[in-house]
Amino acid sequence: MAPAEPNHKPFQVQGELPTFEEEREGWKGYIEWERYPEKKRKAADILAKYDFPVPPEFQFEPLPKSNPVLEGVRWKHYHYAMGPTISNMPDISWDYVKKEKSEDMIHVLQFPYNGEPPRKRLVETEITNNPDFFVRNHGGIPEIDSSKYYFEVEGLVNDPKKITLELLKDESVFPRQSTVASLQCSGTRRIEQIHEYPGDGDELINAPWGEGAIGTARWTGVSLKKVIKYCGGLKDDGAHLEFFGADTYFKKGEVYNYAVSVPVRKMKINEVLLAWEMNDEPLPAIHGFPLRVVVMGYIGARSCKWLTRINVINAPSMAPVQMKEYLYYTPQMGKQNVTYSSGFSIQTMPVSSAIMTPVNNDVIIHDGTITFTGWAFSGSGWPERVEVSNDGGGVWYEVPDENLSKKYFHAWRTWSFECPVDAEGWLEFCVRCWDDALNTQPTYVRSAWNWDLHVTSSCHRVKIYSVNKSRPNTAKRLKQFEERGLPFLPLTRPVPFDLETEEDYLKEMQKRDGRDPTE
Amino acid sequence: MAPAEPNHKPFQVQGELPTFEEEREGWKGYIEWERYPEKKRKAADILAKYDFPVPPEFQFEPLPKSNPVLEGVRWKHYHYAMGPTISNMPDISWDYVKKEKSEDMIHVLQFPYNGEPPRKRLVETEITNNPDFFVRNHGGIPEIDSSKYYFEVEGLVNDPKKITLELLKDESVFPRQSTVASLQCSGTRRIEQIHEYPGDGDELINAPWGEGAIGTARWTGVSLKKVIKYCGGLKDDGAHLEFFGADTYFKKGEVYNYAVSVPVRKMKINEVLLAWEMNDEPLPAIHGFPLRVVVMGYIGARSCKWLTRINVINAPSMAPVQMKEYLYYTPQMGKQNVTYSSGFSIQTMPVSSAIMTPVNNDVIIHDGTITFTGWAFSGSGWPERVEVSNDGGGVWYEVPDENLSKKYFHAWRTWSFECPVDAEGWLEFCVRCWDDALNTQPTYVRSAWNWDLHVTSSCHRVKIYSVNKSRPNTAKRLKQFEERGLPFLPLTRPVPFDLETEEDYLKEMQKRDGRDPTE
C-alpha cells in the first residue's frame, strides 16, 4: 500500500456503521442512490458526523517519490463510513490494479485508482494494450456478473427499456460498431501546472498526472444511436443523455452515483458507443466490465463505466461531475471568486501533444541529433502535423509524415523525430501539433493555467542537458572521464580531476592577452 | 547541528593524524601552507589516503527544509584529516555563528559557514547591522589576538614590510578612510539557477543562496594605496595585488591558504580598503577580525579576511579561488567541455536587484495595490532607477525616487513600492535596476545560466497569488469564509462549502442561453 499521507488518521466509526443494500442481484458494490432521496439524506447525515482527514499538500511541496504517489485516505474513509456494501472498495480496487494493470504503472492516486503507464512504452505502439491503458476512476470498482447485467433507458424517450448485455450483443437487433478512439483525462500533464501555479486541492485530490493519462484502443459495441432508436427515439425536448455508473461518488458531504451527460447531437453522429470490448477482449473490470460508454473526442470523464442507466433529459446533467467539475476557468478565477457557472464545460478535448522521450532533466550524450518520441491528439479532428522545436519555441522542425502513426478519425498519432542539436548545455525542446482545422497549442503553460488545473494543452517542454560529442573539446573531456574509469554522470557530481593544466591555462591566457585590458 | 547529509559517513582516520604547527604566536587555527611546499605535499599525500564523502545531490532534488540547509560533511572531514590545529574548526566556526550572527539566519551551508539574514529585515535599513550581514566563508575562522596581529607586504614593492595593526591605526602614519560599501557574493540568488538548470556541484558545495547574500556596511580602515606608498610604491611590473588569508582552503586534493588578487588599478583609485571596523565596531571574528580587505564594487570573494600577506605580482593570482573559481562561463560550457581559461574572472559585480517582500508563492489579499520592498546594486556604478513590473516584464512602473534609499558611490539602494494590481490569480512580478551607466539586467534567468551558477543578475521574479478584495465577487467569497469561521488559506485546501447554489447556477445558465449552441 502507499505510504501514509501526512494528514492520515485511523478511521473511527462514528455511531453505528450503516448497511446499504446491494441494488441488483449479481452485482457487488453497487448501491443505487439517485432513485432513493431518503437513502441519500441518510448517507449525508452519516457523513456529517465525521471529521475526515484533510487531503495532503502536494502543490506547494515536492511530490512524494512513492508509488502510489498519493494514497487518497479521505476517499477511503468516505467508503468505510458507508458500511460493508462498499467499505472494502479500496482493497478490491487495488487488487484489480494488481491483476489487470502492468506492474510498472505510475499510480498517481491509489484510491480512487488513477494510474498511467511508463512514458516510453506508451508511444511504442499506436494502439495501447489494455494493461497499459491509463485509469482514472472516481470511486470503487463494482463486480458485475455479466449474465445479470442490464442497463435502463428512460426519461425523454418514447419507449423506455431495460436492455441486457445479451440483447445488446444480438446482431439481428443491433448492428455492431468498432472504432479506434483515444480517451484522455483532462488532467493529462497536470503536473506542469501543479508546481508552477498551485490551484484547487479538490477533496478527491486533483491527481498529479504526467503525460500518460491518454490511451488508444479499438472499442467494440453498439452505437448509442441504435439503442435510442430501439427505444422509440427521443421525445421532442430530449437534449442531453445522462449516463449513470454503479460506482459511488462523494462531493461536499453528499453521496451520488457517478453521473455525467453529453448532448444528443454527439449520439446522432454515431460518436457515442456502448462498448463491451477493448482491443478485442472483454472490458477489464477496472475499465467498466461488462459495459461502458465511449464518447469519441470527449474528455474521458464522459465515458461512463459500469453503466446502469441512460436518462434522456432536456439540459446538461446537474450531477456534480457534470455541473461542478471538469470546468475550464479563466486564469483570474480561483478560490476567491470561482462559481460553477463561470467555467465552461470540458467536453471536446483540444489539440495537444507530448514528448515522451527523453524526459525532463535528462542528460543526453549525442553526435548532433537527439531522438524524440511522443503523441499528438485532437478531440475535434485529427493531428495533421507535429513540430518539434530545439530552442524553446522559436525554430520549429516538422516531423516527417512517415514518422507519424496512421490517421484515425478519433485517435491520436504517435511520432518520433531525429532532432538536429548543435548546442550544448541546458536546452529547451518543445512540441506542438496542428490539427486538420489548423488549431494548435498555446506556447506556455503560464497562458493556460486554470484553477482546477485541467487541460494542460500548452506546448509540452522538456529541458535536456546536451553533450555533443561531435565537438572536439567535448570528445576530449569524455575521454578524460573514460581513461580514469569515472562516470560522467551524475551531472552535478564534481569533476574530480583538474579541468586544465597550469601550462595550458597560461598558454590560453597569453593568446587572450591576459585577463586585464591595456591603458 | 544540521541533519546528516545523505552521503554522510563517520570520519575515520587513515594512518596517523598529522600535527601541523601554528604559524604565529597569538594566532589560533592558522597553518601557513604557501611558504612551505613540502608541507603542502605532505598534506596532499594525507588527503589522497581518504575517500571523502561525496557532496549531497540538491540540484535535481528538492532542497532540504532544514536549517542549516546543507551541512558540508566533506569539508569537515578535510579539516579533521589535517589534525588538531584545524580539526576543531567546524565546531569553532559554528560557535561563532551562534555568538555573532542573528538567531534567525538562514544557514545555507553549515561549514564552511555560509548564511544570509531573513529577507524582510535585510532591506529595512540601508546599512546592514553586523549580526545580519551575510557570511560566505571558504574555511574555518582563525582566532587572532589583535595585539599580535601583523600582515606582510612583499613581492613587487620597493620596500617590503611587516605592518602591525597598531601601526596601521596610527593616524600620523596612515590617513583613515571610511566608506559605505556593499559586499555581495556572486552566489546571490543562485537558488533560481539551481533547480531550473542544475550545474557544477563543486566539492565545497555551491551554496543555495537566496537574495540575501549581500549587505552594506560602513567600513573604516586605511586605503591600500597608502600602505603600498608606505612600502616604497610598486615596482614597474607590479600589476596585481595578491591577498592571503589565514584560513585553510582545499581544492582537488591539494591544500592552500585562501588567496585571491585584484589589479593594482583598483588600489590606485582608492577602492581597496584594509578595514578593522564594520559599522563603527571592531570586525566580528566571522568577518575577518582583526583586519580584512574590502574591495569596493567587486565580488565579495576578493575581500580577503584574516589577512596575513599582500603579495604584489605581475599577473592575476594562480591560487585556485582566483584561477579556478568565480569564473563566468558562456551557457554552452559545462562539465563536458569547461576549462578555467574559458570563463572570465568575476571581479566587478553587475547591476542587479531583488524583491525581498512579498516572497515567491505568497497569497496576497489586497485592495488594488501590493507593497514590494527590495534592493538594487551595481558594482561599477550606482542604482539610478528601479522599476517593478506587474506582468512579468511587459509593463514597468518606476519606483519614485523618494522611495529609494540614499545614493552612495559603492553601495546598494533599498526601495519600496506600492504596485497597482488589478488582476487576480497567479501573477508574475519582477524588478530591474538601471545604473548610472544605463546598464540593466537580463530579463530571464534562462539567459544568464552558467555552469558554476554564479551571478544570477536577471530580473528577479516572484509569483504571487493575487486576491483583489475590491472586486465584489471576491469580497463576497471572503465573507463566506469569514461567516463560517473558516480560513481562506492554505490556498490549496478545498473549499468545504458549495461554490454556487443550484438556483444561482441555473439563473446564470439561463442568462448565458445554456451550455449548448443553437442549430
**In sequence order, which residues have a C-beta less than 8 Å from that of residue A12 and are 6 or more positions away?**
none
Q: Give per-residue pLDDT as tens, A147-184.
A: 999 999 999 999 999 999 999 999 999 999 999 999 99
pLDDT at B7: 81
Band the pLDDT of B465: cuts 50, 70, 90. very high
**pLDDT of A389-407, one tens digit each?**
999 999 999 999 999 999 9
B22 CB contacts (<8 Å, ≥6 apart)? B28, B29, B30, B31, B85
pTM over 0.90: yes
Q: How far is B172 from chain A (nearest CA, A)?
A: 34
Give pLDDT tens digits for B230-267: 999 999 999 999 999 999 999 999 999 999 999 999 99
Q: Which of A76, A121, A126 has its CA nearest to residue A103?
A: A121
B338 touching A (Cβ < 8 Å): yes
pLDDT digits (tens, 9 = 90+) for B155-176: 999 999 999 999 999 999 999 9
Smallest CA–CA distance from B197 into chain A, residue: A426
Query: N- to C-terminal Cα distance for chain A?
Result: 72
Residue A477 has its nearest CB partner, among B252, B337, B345, at B337
What are the grid coordinates assigned to B461, written together?
Answer: 521574479
pLDDT band (50, 70, 90) for residue A6: confident
Per residue in B95-104, pLDDT tens?
Answer: 999 999 999 9
Residues 231-270 of chain A whose Cβ lies under 8 A from any Cβ of chain B:
239, 252, 263, 265
Produce one character per residue of A506-515: b if its CB has 16 or more CB atoms within 10 Å, e if not.
beebeeeeeb
- Predicted ipTM? 0.94
Confidence at residue A7, expressed as pLDDT on a 0 to 100 scale:
81
pLDDT tens across A74-131, in order?
999 999 999 999 999 999 999 999 999 999 999 999 999 999 999 999 999 999 999 9
Name chain A contacts of B323, Cβ cutoff 8 Å.
505
How do residues A205-242 score in pLDDT, each as one tens digit? 999 999 999 999 999 999 999 999 999 999 999 999 99
**Cα–Cα separations (whole angstroms), residue B518 to A265, B507, B515:** 11, 19, 10
Whether residue A199 lies within 8 A of chain B, CB to CB, comes out as: yes
Cα–Cα distance for residue pair B128/B134, rounded to 1 Å: 9
In chain B, what are the domains? 27-345 (3.90.420.10), 351-438+458-468 (2.60.40.650)
pLDDT value at A440 more than 50: yes
Query: Which residues in chain B touch residue A336, judged by CB atoms under 8 angstroms apart?
Result: 365, 424, 467-469, 473-474, 477-478, 488
In one letter, which amino acid is A318? M
Share of chain A above pLDDT 70, in %: 99
Q: Tell me whether B482 touches chain A (CB under 8 Å).
A: no
pLDDT band at B6 (very low <50, low <70, confident <90, very high): confident
The C-alpha cell at A63 is 511530490
Of A202, A340, A478, the CB nearest to B500: A340
Q: Report the mean per-residue pLDDT for chain B.
A: 97
The pLDDT value recorded for residue A1 is 47
Q: For residue A519, what pLDDT band results from cuts at 50, 70 and 90?
A: confident
Average pLDDT over residues A243-269: 98
pLDDT for position B4? 63
A336, A428, A511: best to mutate for the B interface, most B CBs within 10 A: A336
Chain A nearest C-alpha distance from B508 (Å):
6
**Which residue has cell 434522456?**
A312
Mean pLDDT, chain A, rounded, equals 97
Q: Do the Cβ atoms of B426 and A197 come within 8 Å?
A: yes
Alpha-helical (H) ranges within A263-309 are 264-268
pLDDT at residue B460 greater than cutoff 70: yes
Comparing B195 with A500, which gets the higher pLDDT?
A500
| Residue A4: band (very low, low, confident or very high) from pLDDT cuts 50, 70, 90 | low
A vs B: CB pairs below 8 A: 188
C-alpha gyration radius of chain B? 26
* 3-class DSSP state of A385: strand
- Taking the Cβ of residue B85 and every Cβ of chain A, the question of whether any pair is shorter than 8 Å is answered with no
For residue B468, list chain A residues with Cβ-Cβ distance below 8 A. 336
